[in-house]
Amino acid sequence: MSGVDLDEFAALIDRPEPSLRHDAKARRQRTEAPAGTLGKLEELGDWLASVQGQVPVRPIERARVVLFAGDHGIAKREVSARPAGTASALVRSVLGGGGAVNVLARQYGAVVRVVDMALDCDPAELPEDVVRHRVRRGSGMIDVEDALTADEAEAAFRAGVAIADEEADSGTDLVLLGDVSVGGTTAAGVLIAGLCGTDASVVTGRGSGIDDLAWMRKCAAIRDALRRARPVLGDQLPLLATVGGADLTAATGFLLQCAVRKMPVVLDGVVSAACALTAQRVAFRAPDWWLAGQAAGEPAQDKALDRLSLQPLVDHGVRLGEGTGALLALPLLKAAAALSAELPVRD
């Protein structure tokens, strides 16, 4: 993994400017809205001022949903409600505009981007702009083998960094980060259990809606993968290669580079929370650039967000993934930005 120097991220990432939060609050106190009457919207407006680097806040006009896609070999253990190797069908639905994420994105004015990192299908079946970053066809069965080789993990991480740069250069002003995967919540559970020092049963959730037998299989898979992860818990790229997968590795690099580029991110569910927790181990200031969109009812997500000191903005029990939870928070952020920017200020 010598080709990627993770220490550089810790040096490059600064916290958002704290004085701008104070300036935004001072400006709001000169409006007609009494202090505290706008509740959570006030805090979000102050956060937006700090991550945008200006007061008053700019409206959110170029929100982008970024979905990293991949199939996980661990799904062959029947740990998901969906058959192993079928994430490409979900991707085709999104690309065709028929996914729940598409409906919400149209409603809230966001653009959806899908990035294939390790789908188990012929790349010729999907558009070139979707598959051009793919590093392999499916990830390994993490209970008995590594998800990726060292070279594949480095390639996936670099792809995530490159995609963050593409988004920043194109003018994206808010990223809604999600995943399209089968078996992804199992890999996420392993990462979170390892990084939080807990056991498999604490982080094993229902994911895509599994029954009790599938839950037990998932718990066993996380337990066995966790044993393989423990020797590399202190080294994030080898950890991601061992038990993460190409999509999670790319999302981790993406989150770090977004913080470098000062581009705010809203996390979706347990998979993006696992990537954020891994990225925090690289650069402890990076989480200041992120928000948690929605509580998905997954114990692993709760554990990760607690470690990240992030509180979900909404809690509607939506477990679908695919960026839907992050999108549900977008109207709140747009409202906070509009109120912060447009409420008249007294002379």
Domain boundaries defined on the chain:
7-58+337-342, 63-332
Report the b/e string of 216-255 with b at 16+ CB within 10 A: ebbbebbbbbbebbeebbeebbbbbbbbbbbbbbbbbbbb
- Tell me which of 3.40.1350.10, 3.20.20.70, 3.40.50.10210, 3.30.70.1400 is the CATH number of domain 63-332: 3.40.50.10210
**pLDDT band for position 1 (50/70/90)?**
very low
**Residue given tokens 């898979």 in the structure block:** 221
The 10s digit of each residue's pLDDT in 105-154 is 999 999 999 999 999 999 999 999 999 999 999 999 999 999 999 999 99
Which residue numbers are catalytic?
A: 322
Cross-strand pairs, 112: 65
**Among the residues of the chain, which ranges form H helices?**
7-12, 18-28, 40-52, 87-95, 100-108, 128-131, 150-170, 184-196, 200-203, 212-229, 236-243, 246-260, 270-282, 299-308, 324-328, 330-342
Domains 7-58+337-342 and 63-332 share a fold: no
Judge whether residue 2 has pLDDT over 70: no
Looking at residue 245, its amino acid is G
Residue the block writes with tokens 């200041």: 288
What fold characterizes domain 7-58+337-342?
Answer: 1.10.1610
Alpha-carbon gap, residue 65 to 113, rounded angstroms: 6
